[in-house]
Structure 1
């Protein structure tokens, strides 16, 4: 099966696969599990955080879409960084994105254990190992099999979320068993902005993790038939998907129950329905969120395999990662990525309760770097084509203003993540206290924000490590 017969990936993904991959990419742990943290930070105004964060992501996807339609290739932004910014940029971009999806894969494997706790307790490392093994085997078969598997998983997520929204509105309109549900919950418990504008800003930091995966649209460009038609269709639907699936679902659960009691344990989508006495709906949604986590992990394995393959083609990774099976699957890259992801099994065995938020913070920081690189590379892409005759196939009309706006926002995001470490018992607070510097006023927020500062420290160290790796490669 693993005889190297071809040196190119096969275009076996159809339009329906890409549409569902794009759709499934925005419905995952960030919505079903991570939304708990954002609701704690901003209350009902979390809705605005999702809208604003979604707008930023849509801008970035339009930039990526313009480049991917003009030059469809596997590896997408790593290839564009390599071509328009230089070999070092391609090296750092590709490896950083690979690192990002290793982290995302770890979060998905971690939360599956939390979801299973709703039914039966099993050591989280055991559930992580089983899912890792099964999904890796699926990805080793062929890209069409991956596409069909992801299509089914994404379809389950889409149908479930739409059904939950419709059912939720039914409860809001009719009520059930005397439970108090209604739109008034959006302002009855401290107002729509219980922690002011700062709460929305802080929630946006957590919300951005939810949007990691939208850039998979670009990764599929090298294996999709008719990318000039398929990719624009997928990207145009990103914004309304965010409005329906994020804003719609978050609004519904906060109208069904007071926001300040949502998600005390597990996914808020499950606990909400059980709180109002509809246990069957809770069990169904628990199954759905498990499928959602498997879906995102499935996409993570796919993405990492193609990114390592692209890096190897650029000579920015060992040549062995460019090896393809008889089905034209980058099997070495997939196996290596799965092996690295398997470190979460050890983490879940040693620190089962703290691993999710730590990895989520790292993944968010790595995603911010990836998005910033896409924005910068798009600027360079446009400048390289300034003398081009004729319009781009899928031109982004807000260039360059949206580019600079997105860069400013991403820089602010990094600053907030760093300052979060100065809160009570935060990492930065402890470090500065050790050297006798008072920092208590720096981390004064209207609500306690998760400490994400470790990610801001580790990511630059990771980038320096990549720079060293690049120098050694030369």
Structure 2
């Protein structure tokens, strides 16, 4: 098997302009989006107040995942990231499956974000069809992604700063209302007032873990962004730690306060639970402000996801697993062909918004879940292979090292596998496995027929031919 340096050399052409603060914001931008602001409403409806436990379990899985991914990324910072690691440490077939499953998943996740944009805009303009907002905001963000990675980083930093400021303000206001003024009907008694803390039983709590995982999805994109970081080792170590602390605090505190203010039975999906909280509190104009913030959050997540799908398709092309045109970069270091193809999720979202506007978000979330879960599972599996070979080769200790190996790595893999299998016994997420497993089987057949190792060696284009003028 070739040295990993061959993969890094193969993926040259991108520009290293992202700073450590920008990388942290990119990860937060992807993870604090629809999953928290709108998806939390779905999670609450499945679990009731025990959704706090669901998000805590999701946070644990995320922490374990980021520990494994941080160690591998410090060793090998490249845009192919976990797909490249699977290719090198397990086999080319594993890299092929992981990259394509993840790319398809995030392309559909882009659709969930832009679908949510239509829901949020409906707060102000209920008479305007959702698909019009889908097209408008999609065009703007696709335009941002055609610029250099430096411009993308600046825009994403601004988006995420707005979200963080709003969430901090929400936590402060919510804490004051719950612990200070305590109006009638608001307080921790809401945790048990409507059927108890586990109104849907332990199964409902576990089903909500699936949505929690979807909410945390995109924290892994910071590893992909490492391929365009100025000082990868320092930026990755710092960004991973700060990102995980912020995400866990933001998710758990906001959900805990939300449930104390809004009875779980009122946390629907017609609008963001955050908006409902502000309506209940009664701060003049606050609900409109929060709706603006959650709109920015969805746009930020979509922006990050367009970036990440573009880089993943770029990596597939450079590996010889996609047409060579998708691996070419323009003078600004942007893989334009990969970007255009990665916009297909927007087209799917537009069609679903026209066909079934009320169900489009749930449909796209259910179908995209498989790629996310499979990728996270494979990151844990890849880490098992990585650590054993890294030690066997006598390499020096890394600046970041996952603790508790192999027990914690195996725990993460086991929890992810259990979550994947559980989707088959849920009404909403049954499509996850029913569409995901056949898709994975098709990818396996495609690899066996067209991309077996001997053929890749003769068909793969040279790096010198992969830049456009």
Q: Normalization by structure 2: what TM-score? A: 0.90
The separation in 2 between residues aligned to 1:264 and 1:9, in whole angstroms, is 40
The separation in 2 between residues aligned to 1:133 and 1:24, in whole angstroms, is 19
Q: CA deviation at 1:370?
A: 0.4
Q: Is the 8 A contact 2:24 2:243 kept in 1?
A: no
Q: Is the 8 A contact 2:111 2:345 kept in 1?
A: no
**Structure 2 spans left out of the alignment, 5+ residues:** 1-10, 452-469
The separation in 2 between residues aligned to 1:467 and 1:196, in whole angstroms, is 38
Which residue number corresponds to residue 442 of structure 1? none
The separation in 1 between residues aligned to 2:417 and 2:407, in whole angstroms, is 16
Q: Deviations over 1:69-127 (max 9, x none)?
A: 01110120111111111111111111111101111100001111111111102211111
Match of 1:125 among 131, 135, 146: 131
Match of 1:26 among 20, 26, 31: 31
Q: Deviations over 1:278-308 (max 9, x none)?
A: 3511100000011001001101110011111
Q: CA deviation at 1:216?
A: 0.7
Q: Is the counterpart of residue 204 in structure 1 residue 206 in structure 2?
A: no
Q: Is the counterpart of residue 392 in structure 1 residue 398 in structure 2?
A: yes
Q: Is the 8 A contact 1:7 1:323 kept in 2?
A: no
Q: Deviations over 1:421-449 (max 9, x none)?
A: 4xxxxxxxxxxxxxxxxxxxxxxxxxxxx
Q: Is the counterpart of residue 297 in structure 1 residue 302 in structure 2?
A: yes
Q: Is the counterpart of residue 472 in structure 1 residue 437 in structure 2?
A: no
The separation in 2 between residues aligned to 1:365 and 1:282, in whole angstroms, is 34
Cα distance, 1:269–1:453 mapped onto 2, change above 3 Å: same
Which residue number corresponds to residue 169 of structure 1? 175
Q: CA deviation at 1:274?
A: 1.1
Q: CA deviation at 1:276?
A: 3.6
Q: CA deviation at 1:194?
A: 2.5
SS at structure 2 position matched to 1:141:
coil
Q: Is the 8 A contact 1:12 1:225 kept in 2?
A: yes
Q: Is the 8 A contact 1:58 1:238 kept in 2?
A: no
Q: CA deviation at 1:468?
A: 2.5
SS at structure 2 position matched to 1:13:
coil
Match of 1:260 among 235, 257, 265: 265
Q: Is the 8 A contact 2:30 2:305 kept in 1?
A: no
Match of 2:58 among 29, 38, 53: 53
Q: CA deviation at 1:272?
A: 1.9
Q: CA deviation at 1:7?
A: 4.9
Q: Is the 8 A contact 2:36 2:215 kept in 1?
A: yes
The separation in 2 between residues aligned to 1:223 and 1:465, in whole angstroms, is 32
Q: Is the counterpart of residue 226 in structure 1 residue 225 in structure 2?
A: no
Match of 1:353 among 353, 358, 361: 358
Q: CA deviation at 1:326?
A: 0.7
Cα distance, 1:48–1:136 mapped onto 2, change above 3 Å: same
Match of 1:216 among 193, 217, 221: 221
The separation in 2 between residues aligned to 1:234 and 1:87, in whole angstroms, is 29
SS at structure 1 position matched to 2:223:
helix
Match of 1:405 among 407, 411, 415: 411
Q: Say how many residue pairs are matched.
A: 439
Match of 2:198 among 184, 188, 193: 193
Q: Deviations over 1:255-290 (max 9, x none)?
A: 112222223631110012113433511100000011
SS at structure 1 position matched to 2:426:
helix
The separation in 2 between residues aligned to 1:279 and 1:39, in whole angstroms, is 26
Cα distance, 1:189–1:215 mapped onto 2, change above 3 Å: same
Q: CA deviation at 1:179?
A: 3.7
Q: CA deviation at 1:133?
A: 1.1
CA RMSD of aligned residues (A): 1.6
SS at structure 1 position matched to 2:397:
coil
Q: CA deviation at 1:197?
A: 2.5
Q: Is the 8 A contact 2:108 2:345 kept in 1?
A: no
**Structure 1 spans left out of the alignment, 5+ residues:** 1-5, 422-450
The separation in 2 between residues aligned to 1:25 and 1:108, in whole angstroms, is 10
